[in-house]
C-alpha cells in the first residue's frame, strides 16, 4: 500500500471580511501519498491557493485537521511549523518570488543557510540543482537578466535544494508562454520521478493536467475526480 504523506481531514476554510463570510473549503478530506504528482485544477477563485497554502503549512484551516508525515500539525506552535516548513517543504509560485538583488545562485543558497553551516556542502548542492534545471552557465545572473522560464527554473532549484518531502507549486506556469509552460511542468515531473519528491500543483490550464499522477478538480469547496 502506498504511504500517506499528508492527510486532510474535514478541512474547512472561511475568510471573514467586514462585509461577508467567504466559505472557500467545505469539509474537504484528501490523502496525498509519498511520490504523488497531484494536480489540482479549478476555476479562478475556486480556492486552489487557499488549499495549497493549507497543504503547504503556510495557512491554517478554520476547522478540520492536517496530518503531515504521521504527525497531526493542526495545533503545533508557530516555531515548530516554521521548522517543519524549512526542513520538508519547497515552494514555487506563479510570480517566481525571487529576491531581485541576489543572483540565481544566491537565491538557491539563501534558504540553505538557515538549516546548515556547512558552506562547502551548501555550495555544491546549490550548484548541482542549478545545473540540473539547466542553468549551469547562468547561475550568477540576477533575475532581471533571466527570462521568465529561467527565473522559474531558479525557483524550482531553490525549492528542491533542501531535499524536501513536498513541493507546492501554485500556478507555476501561469506567467509563461505555452511552450515554456510545458517545459517547466516536464521539469517538475522529471524531478518528481528522480527524487521521489511529492508535488502538489495548482493550475487552471487543462493542458497541464496530463502530467498528473492524480488529478483532482476543486469545485464549490470540494475536491472531485477530474477526467
Ligand X SMILES: Nc1ncnc2c1ncn2[C@@H]1O[C@H](COP(=O)(O)OP(=O)(O)O)[C@@H](O)[C@H]1O
Footprint of Mg ion on this chain (CB under 5 A)?
A: 48-49
If binding is defined by CB under 6 A, does position 203 make contact with ligand X? no
Q: Out of 2, 44, 117, 137, which residue is the one contacting ligand X (CB under 6 A)?
A: 44
Q: Candidates 3-11, 41-49, 81-89, 124-132 — which segment interacts with ligand X by CB under 6 A?
A: 41-49
Closest CB to Mg ion among residues 43, 113: 43
Q: How far is the CB of 181 from Mg ion (least distance, A)?
A: 16
Closest to ligand X by CB, 49 vs 107, is 49
User: Do the Cβ atoms of 93 and 44 come closer than 8 Å?
Assistant: no
**43/121 with CB nearer ligand X:** 43
**Residue pointed to by grid coordinates 490550464:** 205
Work out which of 22, 113, 121, 131 binds ligand X, going by CB under 6 A. 22
Least Å distance, CB 212 to ligand X, is 17
Say if strands 71-72 and 63-68 run parallel, antiparallel, or are unpaired. Answer: antiparallel
Site string for ligand X, 46-65 (x = CB under 6 A): xxxxx---------------
Q: Measured from the CB atom, is 44 or 137 closer to Mg ion? A: 44
Pairing state between β 37-41 and 198-203: parallel
Which residue from 3, 45, 71, 194 is in contact with ligand X, where contact means CB under 6 A? 45
CB of 173 to ligand X, least distance (A): 14
Query: Among residues 49 and 150, whose Cβ is nearest to Mg ion?
Result: 49
Give residues in contact with ligand X (CB under 6 A): 15, 17, 22, 24, 42, 44-50
Amino acid at each position: 500500500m502506498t504511504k500517506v504523506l499528508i492527510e486532510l481531514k474535514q478541512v474547512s476554510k472561511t475568510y471573514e471580511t467586514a462585509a461577508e463570510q467567504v466559505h472557500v473549503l467545505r469539509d474537504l478530506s484528501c490523502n496525498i501519498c509519498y511520490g504523488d504528482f497531484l494536480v489540482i485544477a479549478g476555476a479562478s477563485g475556486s480556492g486552489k491557493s487557499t488549499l495549497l497554502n493549507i497543504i503547504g503549512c503556510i495557512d491554517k484551516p478554520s476547522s478540520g485537521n492536517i496530518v503531515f508525515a504521521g504527525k497531526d500539525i493542526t495545533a503545533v506552535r508557530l516555531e515548530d511549523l516554521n521548522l517543519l516548513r524549512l526542513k520538508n517543504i519547497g515552494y514555487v509560485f506563479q510570480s517566481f518570488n525571487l529576491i531581485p538583488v541576489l543572483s540565481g545562485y544566491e537565491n538557491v543558497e539563501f534558504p540553505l543557510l538557515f538549516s546548515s553551516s556547512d558552506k562547502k556542502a551548501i555550495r555544491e548542492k546549490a550548484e548541482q540543482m542549478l545545473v540540473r534545471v539547466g542553468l549551469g552557465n547562468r547561475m550568477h545572473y540576477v533575475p532581471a537578466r533571466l527570462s521568465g522560464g529561467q527565473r522559474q527554473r531558479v525557483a524550482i532549484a531553490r525549492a528542491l535544494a533542501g531535499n524536501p518531502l513536498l513541493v507546492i507549486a501554485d500556478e507555476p506556469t501561469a506567467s509563461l508562454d505555452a511552450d515554456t509552460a510545458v517545459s517547466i511542468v516536464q521539469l517538475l515531473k522529471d524531478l518528481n520521478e528522480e527524487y521521489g519528491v511529492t508535488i502538489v500543483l495548482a493550475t487552471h490550464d487543462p493542458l497541464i493536467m496530463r502530467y498528473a499522477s492524480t488529478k483532482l478538480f476543486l469545485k464549490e469547496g470540494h475536491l472531485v475526480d477530474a477526467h
